[in-house]
Structure 1
Amino acid sequence: MHTPIPDYLHEVLENTRDDGEVATYIPELARANPDLLASALCMSDGKIYAAGDIHERFTIQSISKPFVYALALQERGFETVLDKIGVEPSGESFNSASLDPRTQRPENPMVNIGAIATHALVRPEASRDERFEAVRAGLSAFAGRELDVDEAVYASEMGTAFRNMSLAYLVRSVDGFTQDPADIVEGYTRQCSILVDVRDLAVMAMTLANAGINPITQERVVDEHVAQQVLSVMTTCGMYDAAGDWMTQVGIPAKSGVAGGIIGALPGQVGAAVFSPRLDPVGNSVRGVQAFERFSGDMGMHLLKSPPLSRDVIRHANRRVSGQGEFHVIELQGPLRFSSAERVMRELEQIPNDRKTIALDLARVSSVDDVSRRMLMEGLRRLILEGHAVYLVDPRSSIPNRDLGDGTFPADAASLETLGLALTEGS
């Protein structure tokens, strides 16, 4: 049996309305074929589904902004970057010549003035060419393959870069960077001229959604907290003046580009991309927006869609008898987050102070975040203080640090075998 996902992608593309206009203010982009259309999904294990003109390459344009922002954060640290570039939605057009009136910073890295300042933060002491090579190598790491530049688009954009040049001089005038503004604009324009296809963009989006680890190469490109910061800014600023409509209707951290690409990164689930050159008045791909609206509605991708109820975390809670006596057994399942860990704490509260052995089975737990780990360990520590012997069944190593806070650890599953207690199959 073949998976229906490619057929679904084809159906979504075929049912988008073909309106909007290609970008005309960049001569080379004005020559783009307006009928090109493609989409791709990249899963957390690197599996890619794609449909349409998937081999067509186009320039990344403003979709480069979140990735270069990630490189700057990774290299320079949060304090340095936030000192130069804010994170507030601007409420103005993408090429607005505006700075925060209080801080004199660009308001966010997703508009041109902020993206130019971001480019300057990467390898600030390097030459123009060395800085661009660091950017190109970084974007290639996000994509999982070497990316090239469309020199024709670069030359065309540089021939009309008067607005961006004025923005660079404005940032330079308030000490937003110290380099030659002309060098920064040339590097930024070359950054926007990097060539990708729709599958590259899906992989790049999934790398952000995968906490900074490329799903194809398994290389950590940026730290988890960097990926989280970038996704946060994409959520509020990635779709320009349409960010509010996008968040309510689609609900996926996203970024668009004037060549017709849109990426969406749903944390822990999928990286998505659509390419169609026809743009709406805000500068977003018309058919790309429509496709993402379908993805969100059909597949439940909205970031704020309610997760399953936390009570589902407890699969079984009962007593069992072995040759060594009676045991309290609690079997958990699924991901452990704060709300589900709180449900487990309430279950542990119900265990009577009878000093009987307790077995906590995590064989079916898929992941445990840090706050849940600490809650769980504290709950077990208190049970031990009450006189219970506590055993932890954790074949997936969901809890790498089992310190109970006093230098002790709960006993492991192997010790249960000597007591004649069999738990979940496979544990």
Structure 2
Amino acid sequence: MDPITAVLQDVLDEIRGDDRGAPASYIPELATVDPDRLAFGVVGPRGRIRSVGDDEVEFTIQSMSKPFVLAHVLAERGLTAVLERVGAEPSGEPFNAISLEEGSGRPANPMVNAGAIATTGMVSGADVDERTESILTTLSAFAGRRLRVDEDVYRSESTTGDRNRALAHLMRSYGIIEAPVELAVETYFRQCSILVTVRDLAVMASTLAFGGVNPVTDERVVDERVARDVLSIMSSCGMYDFSGEWLLRVGLPAKSGVSGGVLAVAPSQFGVAAFSPRLDEHGNSVRGQAIVEALSDRMGMHLLEPHESISHPVVDAVDTDEGRVIRLNGELGYAAAERVLVVLGDMAAMAPPDAVILVDGRELARSHPAAMVALRSELEALPATIRFVE
């Protein structure tokens, strides 16, 4: 067992004995699941899936579908069009609250049921089957394999979904939903009934972590800006009325589902997923939350922890026949550009007047446009000839 998988297993063993909470009971098919199921998985930048526990057990994605359908609609319609119909503010209320913005009728955000139904209502397609297929195609690309709908859970969702229908009718009265109510809600019920494993969810989370590129298939699923916007909303809204404390304690954009899943994203590091059907009063998995919190703490994944690699890139100086070469590695943001300029300034001050210093940025993992503009303008003012190679 490799060291990272060993850490996952240790965390799983520590959390296993926690038997608080109970499976969701308001959807009959979810009430019958084995409450002792427990699984945990992570996917890093090389696309290797590490998982422990009941990692091959399928369960329905439920509300964890919301970020990915949001990504689908953002890619189709754009952020401005989405924000005309759905807000981006934490609601501070339960996931199924009947609460809309005064005057406009907009739901608070795409992670609560009302906002998700409005988002799903924006998916293109002539009927439920066509819209479901469009959603399935996108979610399958995020997962790296073809997914499918659990028809029994779908029927259970549809039979007991009067509250969601009420939300949809209310939003349609404001013009937030243009599609017929049954078309919007039945598509929503089907998207929530898509089957996944904890391994699938970890891959899906990792695709968001790496800017919309699935690290397992190397396929670009959505643009980097779309992935960024989805993670922004997950950060403040993904864990419902527990989102603020979650961000404080765990510090990762995340989304839960009433089937017992939790997925979380450590940008540029990992996609994480856990599964345990027992839920707390917020509708979040008790053990799933505990697992992700423990991993975040042990691996230093909190979003707001300082990361020196961003402000301190690797700068190697090598003397060659063509002169001195400065090789840059890591990420070149604004703070990193400042550090590079200090190093180059010192070198230029000590170099002969006719010296040429070559700055090689071809091994940079990422460079931000503003940082490049600042670096190039400052290089021109240094007392030496400096050439930059990208």
Amino acid at match of 2:142: F
Partner Cα separation in structure 2 for residue 249 and residue 126 of structure 1 = 44
SS at match of 2:2: coil
Aligned to 2:212: 212
Q: Which amino acid aligns with 1:22?
A: P
2:303 is aligned to: 303
Per-residue CA deviations over 1:349-389 (Å, capped at 9, x if unaligned) read 44239342112244664432322222233333444xx6x43
Does the Cα contact within 8 Å between 1:312 and 1:333 map onto a contact in 2? no
* Total equivalences in the alignment: 385
Q: What RMSD, in angstroms, separates the aligned Cα atoms of the two structures? A: 2.0
Q: How does 1:134-173 map to 2 (within 5 A)?
A: 134-173=134-173
Q: In the alignment, what sits opposite 2:254?
A: 254
Which residue of the partner structure matches residue 35 of structure 1? 36
Q: What TM-score do you get using the length of structure 2 for normalisation?
A: 0.93
Q: Distance in 2 between matches of 1:63 and 1:290?
A: 17
Summarize deviations over 1:247-280 as a string: whole Å, max 9, x none. Answer: 0100010000000000001111110000000001
Question: Do the aligned residues in 1 keep the contact of 2:311 with 2:333 (CA within 8 Å)?
Answer: no
Gaps of 5+ in 2: none
Q: Secondary structure at the match of 2:121?
A: helix
The answer to whether the aligner puts 1:389 opposite 2:385 as a matched pair is yes
| 1:224 aligns to 2:224 (yes or no) | yes
Q: How does 1:77-92 map to 2 (within 5 A)?
A: 77-92=78-93
Residue matched to 1:347: 343
- Structure 1, unmatched stretches of 5+, are 400-427
The structure whose Rg is larger is 1
Question: 1:68: which partner in 2?
Answer: 69
* Bigger relative CO (Cα 8 Å, ≥ 6 apart): 2
The answer on 1:332 being equivalent to 2:349 is no
Deviation, 1:214, is 1.2
Matched-pair contact (CA < 8 Å) for 1:314–1:344? no
The answer to whether the aligner puts 1:380 opposite 2:376 as a matched pair is no
Secondary structure, in 3 states, of the residue corresponding to 2:330?
strand
Which residue of 2 is the match for residue 122 of structure 1? 123
> What per-residue deviation string (whole Å, max 9, x for no partner) do you get for residues 185-221 of structure 1?
1110010000000000000001111111111221111
Task: Determine the C-alpha separation between the residues in 1 that align with 2:234 and 2:213.
Answer: 18
Q: Which amino acid aligns with 1:337?
A: G
The worse-fitting range, judged by mean Cα deviation, of 303-312 and 72-81 is: 303-312
1:99 alignment partner in structure 2: 100
The equivalences for 1:175-254 within 5 A come to: 175-254=175-254
Whether the 8 Å CA contact 2:96–2:114 is kept in 1: the answer is yes
C-alpha separation between the residues in 1 aligned to 2:136 and 2:309?
A: 43
In 2, Cα distance between equivalents of 1:316 and 1:22: 55
Query: Residue 99 of structure 1 contacts residue 106 of structure 1 at CA under 8 Å; is this kept in 2?
Result: yes
Distance in 2 separating the partners of 1:329 and 1:196? 50
SS in 2 for 1:390: strand
CA contact (8 A) 1:310 1:343 kept: no
Which residue number corresponds to residue 47 of structure 1?
A: 48
Aligned-partner Cα distance in 1 for 2:327–2:76: 43
The question of whether the paired residues in 2 share the 8 Å contact of 1:209 and 1:265 is answered with: yes
Distance in 2 (alpha carbons) for counterparts of 1:210 and 1:96? 33
Name the structure 2 match of 1:422: none
Superposition map of 1:269-308 within 5 A: 269-308=269-308
Give the CA deviation at 1:314: 5.5
Deviation by residue 1:83-127 (Cα, 9 ceiling, x = unmatched): 11110001111001111125321110000000000001110x522
Deviates more, 1:353-362 or 1:192-201: 353-362
CA distance in structure 2 between the partners assigned to 1:283 and 1:217 by the alignment: 32
In structure 1, the partner of 2:5 is 6
Are 1:358 and 2:354 an aligned pair? no
Query: In the aligned structure 2, how far is the partner of 1:363 from the partner of 1:175?
Result: 50
CA distance in 2, matches of 1:357, 1:87: 51
Residue aligned with 1:148, SS: coil
Q: Deviations over 1:12-44 (max 9, x none)?
A: 111112211110111110000000000100112
Q: Deviations over 1:277-310 (max 9, x none)?
A: 0001100000001101111110001011101176
CA, structure 1 residues 52+376, in 2 after alignment: closer, same or farther (shift >3 Å)?
A: same
Q: Structure 1 segments of 4 or more deviating over 4 A?
A: none
Counterparts of 1:19 and 1:310, CA distance in 2: 40
Confirm or deny: 8 A CA contact 1:46 1:215 kept in the other structure: yes
Q: For 1:82 and 1:301, how far apart are their aligned partners in 2?
A: 30
* TM-score under structure 1 length normalisation: 0.86
Measure the CA separation in 2 of the matches of 1:178 and 1:332: 51
Distance in 2 between the 1:194 and 1:211 partners?
23
Q: Percent identity?
A: 48
> Aligned-pair distance for 1:334?
2.7
Name which of structure 1's ranges 367-376 and 160-169 shifts more when overlaid on structure 2: 367-376
1:110 equivalent to 2:111? Answer yes
Please give the alpha-carbon distance, in whole angstroms, between the structure 2 residues aligned to 1:40 and 1:317: 40
